[in-house]
Amino acid sequence: MSDVTFDIAPGITGLLGPNGAGKTTLLRMMTGLAEASKGTVTIFGEPVRDNPPLYRRIGVMSEHETVYGFMKGRDFVRMMGRLRGVQDLERAVDKAIALVDLADAQHRPMDTYSRGMRQRMRLAATLVHDPEILILDEPLNGADPRQRVHFKRLLEQLAAEGRTIVLSSHILEEVEQLADTVLLIVNGKLAASGGFRAIRAALNQRPYHVRVMCDSPRRLAAEVVGLGSVDAVHVDPDGAVVVLSRNVLDLQIELPRLAQASRISLRRVEPLDDSLESVFGYLVEQ
């Protein structure tokens, strides 16, 4: 990692980047597991490295399945609660396990769990001391679709209670759906940060492809090429008009007006690259 500076506020922040970009390294530095050779990481204004009392206020779930297979799920959560000095331990354990919806499996050894169940029990252990900050590295690994929905609701609930949640994921749709703010890490550097659409706006140098389905594609292509917001146009074999624009905001206004004036019926207008994947694909190329 180099030249990375950012602040994180309450809410859900997604840490995003291609494999090997440095997401896990960054999270490890943020949690004090790894030391930065230069610079500082502070949480609540305190250095995080070699500062054990700070972990009363932080919950960390690493990407690895760091469980003791011989241990029952409830015993694991209880042990983590005890290590973190939780008062009224049994009630806190009950609450954490209920949050991840694993009460039925809590008395089974964890080596009998599926991967998704182990992740959820680890999340319960991360939540047992009611931390103000949650740092989750690839938390949805191994989760099935139902568990993903449950996890999403849980994170939203935790964020609504005022917690600060940082999560990394290589599944872009998850970050897009979950995170209020996105940090894009590329080649060990912070490539962009902010809301997803703010990041998109910041990337105004990037050509933007829009696919238009209409009743008269060739006529629309001939008309649209004259717009100031359009750089290039072509018609796909399936009859879709693909417009290349560097000024998509103007295009959003001009295209419907043009279609109306030309009596062309627009059936569908969709961005071809309005996803996080396309955004950091572009950033990686840079």
Contacts with another protein by CB under 8 A lie at: 28, 31-35, 50, 52-56, 58, 60, 62, 64, 66-68, 70-71, 79-80, 82-85, 125
Nearer to another protein by Cβ, of 86 and 178: the residue is 86
* Backbone angles phi and psi of 169, in degrees to 5: -160, 145
Nearer to another protein by Cβ, of 69 and 226: the residue is 69
CA dist 221 and 203 (Å) reads 25
In the complex, least distance from residue 156 CB atom to another protein, rounded to whole angstroms: 24
In the complex, least distance from residue 163 CB atom to another protein, rounded to whole angstroms: 17
CA dist 49 and 37 (Å) reads 12
In the complex, least distance from residue 137 CB atom to another protein, rounded to whole angstroms: 11
CA dist 235 and 247 (Å) reads 20
Q: Is 99 exposed, middle or buried (0-12, 13-18, 19+ CB in 10 A)?
A: middle
In the complex, least distance from residue 189 CB atom to another protein, rounded to whole angstroms: 21
Nearer to another protein by Cβ, of 93 and 172: the residue is 93
The structure tokens listed for 39 are 């610079």
Nearer to another protein by Cβ, of 83 and 253: the residue is 83
Nearer to another protein by Cβ, of 19 and 37: the residue is 37
Nearer to another protein by Cβ, of 81 and 217: the residue is 81
In the complex, least distance from residue 79 CB atom to another protein, rounded to whole angstroms: 5
In the complex, least distance from residue 13 CB atom to another protein, rounded to whole angstroms: 19
In the complex, least distance from residue 22 CB atom to another protein, rounded to whole angstroms: 14
Nearer to another protein by Cβ, of 63 and 273: the residue is 63
In the complex, least distance from residue 80 CB atom to another protein, rounded to whole angstroms: 7
Nearer to another protein by Cβ, of 76 and 208: the residue is 76
Instruction: Report the amino acid identity of residue 61.
Output: M
